[in-house]
Amino acid sequence: QKEVEQDPGPLSVPEGAIVSLNCTYSNSAFQYFMWYRQYSRKGPELLMYTYSSGNKEDGRFTAQVDKSSKYISLFIRDSQPSDSATYLCAMAGLERGSTLGRLYFGRGTQLTVWP
Amino acid sequence: DAGVIQSPRHEVTEMGQEVTLRCKPISGHDYLFWYRQTMMRGLELLIYFNNNVPIDDSGMPEDRFSAKMPNASFSTLKIQPSEPRDSAVYFCASSFFSPSNEKLFFGSGTQLSVL
């Protein structure tokens, strides 16, 4: 079993739809949860960063973490064609005072928002 | 800043040949990471450096892979001899650790095809 599981999709929605992306994980030591967005032929870019449980909102994006269920979500409101990309969840525990050492990625969900 | 720079963008080679991938991290960043991305396995960490010193190479698939960081502004990932199963996109990423900002900056990747 992989440390992080993510449905690769693809997911196709009309413009304006609410999108829900999810990941599950098995390692209870994970404390830091991130979502990266990757456009075609580009490297991933950090979209959201959350510590421990709870919600975080940034514009049209909301990240949720439920540590009791080992489940994280990313919601996109009023989705736009420019949101079309692959979304990767990532998570880490705390090693050597930093999360950077070992970041575990999901496989990514490919999202297409059509006009 | 130009961001993380990787070269070449594309590499096509024949099985058994040596392949060298190059990376220039963002100036001032003290962490450098090499990742490999495939459809089947997603994004996998191969090795990472802190202040030019390799910290964790447990993700390097086998002895055919080697990585070096001779100075703070340059790193290489070498595959010798290359095999068709090495075909993937290889990403370099860098970061500057601070407790309030743990964010990886990825390059655009090198698409490697081993025939």
Instruction: Tell me the pLDDT tens digit for each residue of A37-69.
Output: 999 999 999 999 888 888 999 999 999 999 999
Residue A106 per-residue DSSP state: P
- Give the model's pLDDT for residue B11: 97
Instruction: Tell me the pLDDT tens digit for each residue of B7-23.
Output: 999 999 999 999 999 99
Per the CB < 8 Å rule, is A44 touching B106? Answer: yes
Distances in whole angstroms, Cα of residue B87 to Cα of each of A59, A86, A93, B12, B112: 38, 20, 30, 9, 5
- Give the model's pLDDT for residue B98: 64
pLDDT at B97 over 80: no
Indicate the SS3 state at residue B5. Answer: strand
Look up residue A2 and give its two tokens.
Answer: 């992989």
Q: Is B53 on the interface with A (CB under 8 A)?
A: no
Per the CB < 8 Å rule, is B109 touching A102? Answer: no
With CA atoms as reference, report the closest residue to A44 among B106, B44, B40. B106
Per the CB < 8 Å rule, is A101 touching B91? Answer: no
- Give the model's pLDDT for residue B54: 93
Q: Which residues of B touch A1 (CB under 8 A)?
A: none
From the candidates A7, A103, A109, which should be mutated to test the interface with B, based on the most B CB atoms within 10 A? A103
Mean pLDDT of B39-48: 90
- Give the model's pLDDT for residue B99: 58
Residue type, B101: N
